[in-house]
Amino acid sequence: MYSVGIDIGSTTIKCVVIDENGKILFKSYERHEAKQGEKLLNLLFEIEKRFGKKFSLFMTGSGATIFSNILDVKFIQEVNAVSIAVEHYEADTRTVIELGGQDAKMIFWQEVKGKKRKITTMNDKCAGGTGATIDRIVSKLKIPVKKAVDVKYDPSKVYPVAAKCGVFAETDITGLQKCGVEPDSLLISLFDAIVLQNLTVLTRGYTVAPKVLLLGGPNTFFKGLQEAWRYHIENLWKEKSIPYSEKSVVIPENSQIFAALGAAIYGLKEPCIYNGTESLLSFLSKGEDELKRKTGVVGLLKNKEELEEFKKEVFRFSSRSVEYTSFSSEKIDVFIGIDGGSTSTKVVLIDKEKRVVEKAYTLSSGNPITDVKRLFKEIRERLKKKGIEVSVRGVGVTGYAKEMIKEIVSADVAVVETVAHTISALSFFNDIDVIVDVGGQDIKVIFMSNNTVKDFKLNTQCSAGNGYFLQTTAERFGFSVEEYADVAFRAKYVPDFNFGCAVFLEQDIVDFQRLGWEPHEIMAGLAKVLPKNIWLYVVQEPNLRKFGKRFLLQGGTQRNLAAVKAQYDFIKERVPDAEIFVHPLTGEAGAFGAAVEAMKTEKTVFPGFDVVENMEIDVKSDESTRCTFCSNRCVRTFIYFKNKLYIIAPCEKGSVETIDELKEKINELKEIKNKYPNMQEISAQLCFKEPTVDLISNKLSGITVGMPRVLNFYSIAPFFYGYFKSLGAKVIFSPYTTEEMIKKDLVGGAIDPCFPSKIALAHVVNLIRKKPDIIFFPKILTLQKMIPDSEDSKACPTVSGTPMVVKAALTKERNVFAEKGIKFVSPIIHFHDLDYLEFEMFETFREFGISKEENSKAVRGGLLALNKYYNTLKSMGKEILDRAEQEGKIVILALGRPYHNDPGINHGITGELQKKGYPIISVDSLPENRNISLSSVYKKSYSENTNRKLWAALYAASCPNMAVLDFSSFRCGPDAPTYRLIEKIMEESGTPYFTFHEIDENKPSGAIKIRVETIDYFLRQYEKNLLNSSRR
């Protein structure tokens, strides 16, 4: 009897038919394009036609559970299916790495007492969507699939891209793309990031040992991904002294269908008779509709009349009403606005009356320079056809690519997107309460009062990419974005999506496809979840009434009528008397705002349409452009034009070409730092500075103690430094977190917690290379109690447990510490009780012959060093606050945990604001001279760092010239309950409040820049109002 294995995945359906000997008689691999049931039915018909109806059928894969029940056949979990196929066909395999559309998994085979043991690991929900992410980014980069699969991996062309989740990856890719980085380099960077992420996290501390099989669609078809695996595995094995050869990492025959193959092999041992297609036919004809009515929600439209009524209300202004229609033979003075957005490029020409003379819009080709040149040509030809002659008086740019476009076209002004969209809105509407701007990548919600910006919300990394997600989903289903609304409006019932990030939505799509939801219904469901993402995920406020009743919708995504209708319904349900408008230039709103800003130009430097169109531009990104100004050696992109050079680099050091230019930059930065101190940076430096303490004993003389520069060491390192120094030991620390450290040392992690905890492994690996005698990494359970009326001073449990995780990762298969002759010391430490602290330190180091008295004096010496550190910080903080109050200037409070002082964790965000002229104060540098009661706002005050954050928020609320920048790491459990509480404190006091939540190892430079520029714009207005009110 034949055995059939079918694997229904998130994007593809795979099938294998084998005979009794395991010989493959038939195989297929195809995309199901959201029609899993129909594809399965056709596949079964094909098998029946070829082999008859007598065969055994087993099913596997994320989409197979429902269909195995319908067909009454057995389901086998896909990890087991893959394992069976590997053990049958590739029995000498030690490691399997399989990537699918949604899931990534690793399987390890180890010898334990002569028997083979199998260990499996899988990605978590946040890290899902590997294959789907590659698909979306290939589409975004406009690389033909046939070319994408042949792109070769080149480590010299790698840019920093996150692969923890697809949304983070797309955010990074978008920023780099708009800087002119070549598509091939971006795809290579994505492959590199995927490999590093999986080697870092998915291994869970196990060694990727030869022979390694690469399985799954992405590993099978993308040569660059295969090469990235080989490159990094070879480097990993060099460190572990494992020999490498080409045969060590293999892509076996049929690598894309191993799960289906395993299911078929299993069927040989335990037959499961196939009963035909009748039950599946019945489900597809009747069962699906019944299921949809029970589980779905009503679609976007009841009838055509509702659509017409809705359009009449929201489109009270049409784009025609703002066009310039009265032309004469004279030249028209015009101002040009260019918006180089994340997914599209827009150009608008306006006259002195702010009437539109001409406009153009295009989805991005992947190169913003090419887009602008094409749109300029299109506009020039249209003007010529109409017989219009124009004289350009000013050019403004905005959007992700604004800096580069400004250089290329010699624009007069560059304006941050948030500001451009606000200017645009106010040019058409008075007394708007809320501007909702939804672009391809970003969501901006701007709250207005008396035609001025009162507050704003920008999406975090996790809530980015909503607009582009709608576009790519439609394209995946075979529809253009222009067809989206017509298709979505056909749905009577739609699946009820949970609001959240695009990765979760992608996973929901897979689940809904499995239940039989059609593409048009899924598209309507995604449109309906958009307003939930805006208001419940980004703004995090269900009570829309509190913001007013006049709402303006704009941004490229609002060109999609289905998205507009969903938002209209959502707002009207909560604010029945709401007035909702759609901007007359929905997609071009940012470009229009940039053009209006350009009207302030006295004399333009724009060279003319012809010059820009015919400009020869050469882009270079290879080893010759690599930066050598620091150890990171980042890849840079050089753009040559008009005998000029424009450099795209990850940091300011790399933005110059010569050492003299670099010295000039450094001197400029020193002046700024002296004028506007950054206590977040200063705290991080002083904390690890060698303290002055008395030498108590030489019992630790000749011993080097290494400590990782991580976690709560950022608040208590002076104590341990002082303790060890007073006993004669030499103390060393790992460096600050860097990108190089992440790539080189963060391999083989046992878990994937918040980044500050995860990076601890890399710091300890770095210390091992320095060969200290002791690595001291205590499990700190409590901290010093700084807030008198708090309940307790416990440390975060994830932070407390991190030393154990690090130890497990480095001793799981072999004891790295023992091999290097290093003693790993990790006692439990309580800082809330100084007597107990003294006892714990004595118990830990008594084996070195230290007496109780010597230990007691060393503890006192450490505490003196710690107190001196805090006194210094608070003295400096008081000086900064006093000066700012006298000058009427704004001070920014970096509201974070101590380890957010690490520049590799905070991504230099406060440094960017410091450069704009704002002094930065940290939580620990706030003077303790205010009578603030924590218990008045927070009863469950058990976590010390949470208590300090809340106390600092209350402090800021009492200072009119203080703004707050709230830092929180991705997956920070203790911070999550405080988000709304801190926001409420800020709202009630009117304190400017901005968040950088979900900070992770990736640095989305483009998104950070937008937020920093927006914050700067808002604070300039706030500071101006503050100064005016103080003079009254």
Topology of domain 872-1031, CATH: Rossmann fold (3.40.50)
Q: What is the pLDDT of residues 815-867, one digit of tens each?
A: 999 999 999 999 999 999 999 999 999 999 999 999 999 999 999 999 999 99
Same fold, 1-90+257-295 and 299-341+362-376+384-615: yes
The pLDDT value recorded for residue 863 is 96
Long-range contacts of 807-816 (CB under 8 A, 24+ apart): 808/205, 808/750, 809/205, 809/748, 809/749, 809/750, 809/761, 810/761, 810/764, 810/765, 810/768, 812/205, 812/206, 812/750, 813/205, 813/206, 813/207, 816/768
pLDDT at 291: 72
Q: Are 699 and 848 in contact (CB under 8 A)?
A: yes
Whether the CB-CB separation of 196 and 490 falls below 8 Å is answered with no
Q: How many helices (H) and strands (E) does the chain have?
A: 38, 35
- Confidence band (pLDDT; 50, 70, 90) for 250? very high
Instruction: Tell which wins on pLDDT, 748 or 257.
Output: 257
pLDDT bucket at 288, cuts 50 / 70 / 90:
low
Lowest mean pLDDT among 8-12, 169-173, 473-477, 521-525: 169-173
Query: Buried b / exposed e across 681-690, counting CB within 10 Å, b at 16+?
Result: bbbbebbbee
Q: What percent of the chain has pLDDT over 90?
A: 48
Structure tokens at 783: 């901290």
Among the ranges 70-79, 278-287, 773-782, which has the highest mean pLDDT value? 773-782
**Sheet with strand 443-449: strands edge to edge:** 452-458, 443-449, 434-438, 550-554, 579-582
Q: What are the residues whose beta carbons fall under 8 Å from the beta carbon of 136, sequence distance 6 or more? A: 166, 170, 468, 472
In this predicted structure, the answer to whether residue 379 has a pLDDT above a threshold of 90 is: yes
Closest to 794 (Cα-Cα) out of 920, 946, 995? 946
- When the pLDDT of each residue in the chain is averaged and rounded to a whole number, the result is 87
Q: Does residue 622 register a pLDDT over 60?
A: yes
Res. 165 pLDDT band, cuts 50 70 90: low
pLDDT recorded at residue 466? 73
The mean pLDDT value for 310-316 works out to 83
pLDDT of residue 319: 55
User: Is the whole model's pTM more than 0.85, yes or no?
Assistant: no
pLDDT at residue number 596: 95
- Residue 451 φ/ψ region, left for φ over 0, alpha for ψ in the -120 to 50 degree band, beta for the rest: left
**Average pLDDT of span 56-70:** 89
Question: For position 650, what pLDDT does the model report?
Answer: 65
Residue predicted with more confidence, 739 or 729: 729
DSSP string, 195-251: HHHIIIIITTT----SSEEEESHHHHH-HHHHHHHHHHHHHHHHHTT----GGGEE-
pLDDT band at 732 (very low <50, low <70, confident <90, very high): very high
pLDDT at position 166 is 66
Question: What pLDDT is attached to residue 326?
Answer: 63
Q: CB–CB of 540/980 below 8 Å?
A: yes
pLDDT score of 135? 86
| Strands 443-449, 434-438: pairing kind | antiparallel
Q: What pLDDT was estimated at residue 796?
A: 92
- Average pLDDT in the 366-387 region? 87
For 853-892, the pLDDT digits (tens) are 999 999 999 999 999 999 999 999 999 999 998 888 899 9
CATH number of 299-341+362-376+384-615: 3.30.420.40
Tell me what percent of the residues of the chain surpass a pLDDT of 70.
Answer: 94
Q: What's the pLDDT tens digit per position in 935-966?
A: 878 877 888 999 999 999 999 999 989 999 99
Interval 917-927 mean pLDDT: 95
Preceding omega of 164 cis (within 30 degrees of 0): no
> Residue 232's pLDDT is what?
92
Residue 522 burial by Cβ neighbours in a 10 Å radius (0-12, 13-18, 19+): buried
CATH topology classification for 1-90+257-295: Nucleotidyltransferase; domain 5 (3.30.420)
Enumerate the domain spans of the chain.
Answer: 1-90+257-295, 299-341+362-376+384-615, 618-648, 683-869, 872-1031
Residue 865's pLDDT is 97
Query: Which helix (H) or strand (E) is 969 found in, with range?
Result: strand 962-969
CA-derived radius of gyration, the chain: 31
Q: How confident is the model at residue 341 (pLDDT cuts 50, 70, 90)?
A: confident
How far out from the chain centre does Cα 546 lie?
30
User: Does the pLDDT of residue 630 top 80, yes or no?
Assistant: no
pLDDT digits (tens, 9 = 90+) for 959-1008: 989 999 999 988 788 888 888 899 889 988 989 998 888 788 777 777 78
- Residue 494: pLDDT above 80? yes
What is the reported pLDDT for 272?
A: 78
- Top-confidence residue, 511 or 287: 511
pLDDT attached to residue 117: 87
Of 337-346, 400-409, 472-481, 506-515, the poorest mean pLDDT is in 506-515
- Average pLDDT (31-46) is 87
